[in-house]
Amino acid sequence: MSGGTFVGMPAFPPPAPPAFPAAAREAVGDTRLRANLRHATHTIRDKRARAVAELDDWARLREAGKQIKDHTLRHLDRYLVQLEEAVVRAGGTVHWAADADEANRIVTGLVKATGEREVVKVKSMATQEIGLNEALEAEGIHAYETDLAELIVQLGKDRPSHILVPAIHRNRGEIRDIFRKEMAGWGRPAPEGLTDTPAELAEAARLHLREKFLRAKVGISGANFMVAETGTLVVVESEGNGRMCLTLPETLISVVGIEKTVPTWRDLEVFLQTLPRSSTAERMNPYTSMWTGTTDAETADGPRTFHLVLLDNGRTDTLADEVGRQALRCIRCSACLNVCPVYERAGGHAYGSVYPGPIGAILSPQLRGTQSEIDASLPYASSLCGACYEVCPVAIDIPEVLVHLRERVVQGGEATRNGTKVMLKPAKGHAAERAAMRAAGLAFARPGALRAGQRIVSRTRRFHPRTLPGPGRAWSATRDLPKVPAESFRDWWQRTDGGRHSGKGGGK
């Protein structure tokens, strides 16, 4: 695979991914990828539409989710302190991580302190964001993904391409081949004669993972929500693998972005209705696991040691942006990916981030900054059709944030990264556009110069090219430049006395 870091594979430093246009151009030429994506996204979004239509109060639930998230973000400092106090009171330990490096140091240190050399993991976007698997591997600790799709990605030395279905770019035949070839190197081999039927593939994964669940002493998770008033963490899933990771290991380490906080237990009522319908098109998640602190009993379910790592990694900087902060409402449902025409054709790898699709196009450049080529290109990875906003269960106006970030990329200026002020350079490739805008501003501010320029352009119109030269050639390759009229509107107005007297020539 080109660009990015393979999940579970050590690569330091990871190669820089190409800008979105180059990566997308390569992806759209992969006919099998496009077929896989088209089938999967159309299936999921059609099911989601039917599930949402069952609720008469969907619009009110959507607005309630938005209001809860916005309120929490405005008072996040207070709720995080309340969350920490509640977790400690329940027997857990809270760690604060300003960035990915600090979070990785904390987690690897905690695992090494147990003396263990392998961990089982619940599907977690936050741990992918910080490259935790690679950091653990560098310290000689093997991290085993237990979500079925994440297992496919890990065994295939691949990268996730979807928030909900990380292996959406793979079909059943490819998955069968990966299991046959790779499972033996990671543990229990695939059964003899394994076919590509879903039941057989799921059974092969279940048998492969069972021995890891029963052996592992350390589990690592993320969380969908953290309840500030009780210190409770919540994971929703469809398979039950997450519950095995949360209940069997003696030590549990959860790495969670600070924006996943909600104030009260009652707030979960809204999200446990909107999240499953928007993600898997189910009325409720088959497995909703909640845990508060630790257990002392030898026979009881749950960890005897619990660590919560609260991850910032650019979130505080994002919170400072009045327009961009709405991206922090995201509950990772992936509904925006399934309706996006750009994602459907380009796939998730083209985004060069663990957060693909429309939400990734606004979240990644804010968490990482727009200094790199890939992050500067992501706000343009959209047609601005608005379908993503229409399906978002917390009403994130993704097109508005995309336009806002495009302005930031073009103009450069000052930004904050991890608490430090940095200067953003204006985007490469926009120099001609900025020069044209400055020239237009000067001309519009000087009526005499504008009139003279209009007359010159009109009198020389027979010599005008139909396409733009130089950098503008790509834009005009499929467009003809508009024809210049024989006279300007101002001249026509004067000649015809405001249209009251007709005259020959001009205007057409």
pLDDT band for position 382 (50/70/90)?
very high
What's the CA gap between 169 and 177, in Å, rounded? 14
| Cα dihedral value 138, 139, 141, 147, nearest 10 | -40
What is the pLDDT at residue 91? 96
Contacts of 130 (CB under 8 A, 6+ apart): 100, 103, 104, 255, 311, 313
- Say which amino acid occupies 189: P
Does 428 score more than 90 pLDDT? Answer: no
What's the CA gap between 292 and 400, in Å, rounded? 38
What is the pLDDT at residue 481? 79
The set of long-range contacts for 196-200, using a CB threshold of 8 Å and a minimum separation of 24, is 196/172, 197/172, 198/172
What kind and span of H or E run contains 289? strand 287-292
Residue 310: half-sphere exposure toward Cβ, Cα within 13 Å: 24
24 closest CA partner among 398, 381, 470: 381
pLDDT band for position 426 (50/70/90)?
low
- Say which amino acid occupies 79: Y
**Where do we find the tokens 């048998």?**
207
pLDDT band for position 381 (50/70/90)?
very high
What is the pLDDT at residue 97? 98
Beta strand pairing status for 93-97 and 118-121? Answer: unpaired
Q: In 3-state terms, what secondary structure has residue 419?
A: coil
Strand partners, 236: 288
Does 341 score more than 70 pLDDT? Answer: yes
pLDDT band for position 10 (50/70/90)?
very low
Q: Can you say how many angstroms the Cα of residue 221 is from the centroid of all Cα atoms in its chain?
A: 18
Does 118 score more than 60 pLDDT? Answer: yes
What is the pLDDT at residue 76? 98
Q: Cα angle vertex 31, ends 362, 202, to 5°? A: 80
What's the CA gap between 295 and 137, in Å, rounded? 29
What is the pLDDT at residue 393? 97
* Average confidence (pLDDT) over 232-238: 94
* Average confidence (pLDDT) over 378-396: 96
Q: Can you say how many angstroms the Cα of residue 315 is from the centroid of all Cα atoms in its chain?
A: 13
Does 430 score more than 70 pLDDT? Answer: no
What's the CA gap between 144 and 209, in Å, rounded? 9
Strand partners, 421: 416
Does 11 score more than 50 pLDDT? Answer: no
pLDDT band for position 269 (50/70/90)?
very high
What is the pLDDT at residue 502? 67
pLDDT band for position 473 (50/70/90)?
confident
What is the pLDDT at residue 12? 37
For residue 497, CA distances in Å to 124, 424, 508 come to 70, 51, 17
The token pair at 302 is 């749950």
* Average confidence (pLDDT) over 319-347: 96
Does 9 score more than 80 pLDDT? Answer: no
Q: What is the pLDDT of residues 87-101, one digit of tens each?
A: 999 999 999 999 999
Does 416 score more than 60 pLDDT? Answer: no
Helices (H) and strands (E) in the chain, counts: 23, 12
Does 259 score more than 80 pLDDT? Answer: yes
59-73, 416-430, 447-461: the lowest-pLDDT one: 416-430
Asked if residue 84 lies in contact with residue 93, where contact means CB atoms within 8 angstroms, the answer is no
Q: What is the largest CA-CA distance in the chain?
A: 98
Its sign, for the CA torsion 100, 288, 6, 161, is negative
- The mean pLDDT value of the chain amounts to 89
User: What is the value of pTM for the model shown?
Assistant: 0.82
Asked if residue 430 lies in contact with residue 349, where contact means CB atoms within 8 angstroms, the answer is no
